[in-house]
Amino acid sequence: MFSGSHVIVPRTEDSVVDMYLRFCSTLRNLVMKHPRAKDAASHAQQQGERDMWARLNQARIIDLGSAFYAATYHEADVYTTEHIAGQSWTRPGTGQKLTEEDGRKFFEDITEGGKHHPLDVEHLPFDHVLFMFGPGEVLLNPTIGKLRYDNPTEHPQLMFMGYLVSYDGFVADLAISAKGSSDEMLACSYVRHPNYATWSKAFFLSPWIVSAVIDYVNEHRQIMLENDPPANWKRPKKGRKQFVKHPIPKPYYTVFLDKDVRVQDWLGRRRKAETGTSFEYQHRFDVRAHERCYIRRGPLPLADKLRQKMVDAGYRIYAMGDMHPDDVRRLAERKQPPRGGGEWVAIKVRWIAHDVRPHNDALPYIPAVQSKQEGWEEARMNNEECIKEIVAKAGLGAQQQHPHRGP
């Protein structure tokens, strides 16, 4: 089961969850208290707010942290300046300024260059996803050096929340007033509307940042290293499995993004089927959409029967010539070399759709925050100690203690 490992992390009042819940509550109150629209413009605005609320209410949160946003913004800034506007990038705050004419051309080049930038909505991790970047940054951010909105000085305490992205190509950036402000303010800005399939406000680099964020999340894929069963393989007998109930976490617990690499262990699979321990979930959870990559390799010659079997199953087979760069990268992620002389490599890639598991509607659904966090290894060790403690309380032997991965 894939989507990272469950690690329950306490969240402070200024966390991304607090921002999200404050935004949802304020937007909901605004939608519920709508007066009757008196003109077409008011009606359109109210419809837009209802649509935003409906999407946000279904969104799953992925928090990548402020450092990730700043680094991605910087790379997008350098790329668009040099490759789209054709100018030399200079660090903000150095005092170098463009002339009025060059500044206008710079703005127009980047706006036009991002207008039709592609958006890979077919590979979103969820149908509606809110990409957040930590507890929030003031819109006028001196470390980034560009104004995120036309008049940010009107609301100096308005904090950037993140991007709301939907399966139909809808993208909006969201902002909310800083905690403790006298007024609760919201800013919902459409940056890509599905009816037009073009980006607006591309000068603020949203087309490149959103695409980079989606690519980064999808890099956390599942890799399956396959092999043939041993000669003495027998189907497992139906044994007496022991079940340990997985504790129900608090809402918006943390699931760390992780690359999942699994080696097909035929004998281990048989032992687990006959005597292993299984965790029984008492709640439903999200499994994000992700790429699953199957890898097989062996010595030449490749038997015709096995070749046909893999072709029918959708594998790409490399027995001669160079491998595709994407497949070389997939091998490198498992620290495996590309195809060498005298061997073949077969790779199959599938896109696994978002799912909610277990498939039992009687269980409560508990939302989570998928997160890129520092200190992952330490949190992972703490999680395994927690699992061992659960197993010990269930009275199971030490030989049956298995660290739990996923969901």
* Encoded tokens for 108: 């127009």
Question: Structurally, how many domains does the chain consist of?
Answer: 2
Q: Is residue 400 part of a domain?
A: no
Q: Could you tell me if 7 and 406 are in contact, meaning their C-beta atoms sit under 8 angstroms apart?
A: no
CA–CA separation, 356 and 271 (whole Å): 28
Do 274 and 368 share a domain, yes or no?
yes
pTM: 0.76
Length of the chain: 407
Structural domain span for residue 202: 5-218
Phi, psi angle pair for 5, to nearest 5°: -115, 140
Q: Is residue 406 part of a domain?
A: no
Task: State which of 193, 218, 243 marks the end of a domain.
Answer: 218
Do 191 and 262 share a domain, yes or no?
no
Residue 260 confidence (pLDDT): 66
Task: State which of 218, 241, 269 marks the end of a domain.
Answer: 218
CA–CA separation, 31 and 47 (whole Å): 9
Residue 138 three-state SS: strand
CA–CA separation, 148 and 189 (whole Å): 11
* Encoded tokens for 385: 């100690």
The three-point CA angle 227-232-233 to 5° equals 55
CA–CA separation, 115 and 199 (whole Å): 5
Do 75 and 212 share a domain, yes or no?
yes
CA–CA separation, 117 and 204 (whole Å): 13
Nearby residues of 171 by Cβ (< 8 Å), 6 or more positions away: 119, 163, 164, 165, 190, 191, 192, 199, 206, 210
Residue 25 three-state SS: helix
Residue 367 confidence (pLDDT): 92
Per residue of the chain (407 residues), give pLDDT as tens: 333 333 333 344 448 888 888 888 888 888 887 777 778 877 777 888 888 889 999 999 999 888 888 888 888 888 998 898 888 887 766 666 777 787 788 888 888 999 999 999 999 999 999 999 887 665 544 333 343 333 344 445 677 888 999 999 999 988 887 766 656 677 778 889 888 888 987 888 899 999 999 998 988 877 777 766 666 656 656 655 566 777 888 888 888 887 666 665 545 555 555 555 667 888 999 999 988 888 888 889 999 999 999 999 999 999 888 888 888 888 887 677 788 888 999 999 999 899 999 999 999 999 999 887 654 444 444 444 544 444 444 443 333 333 332 33
Do 262 and 195 share a domain, yes or no?
no
Nearest one of 318, 315, 314, 316 to 298, comparing CA atoms: 318
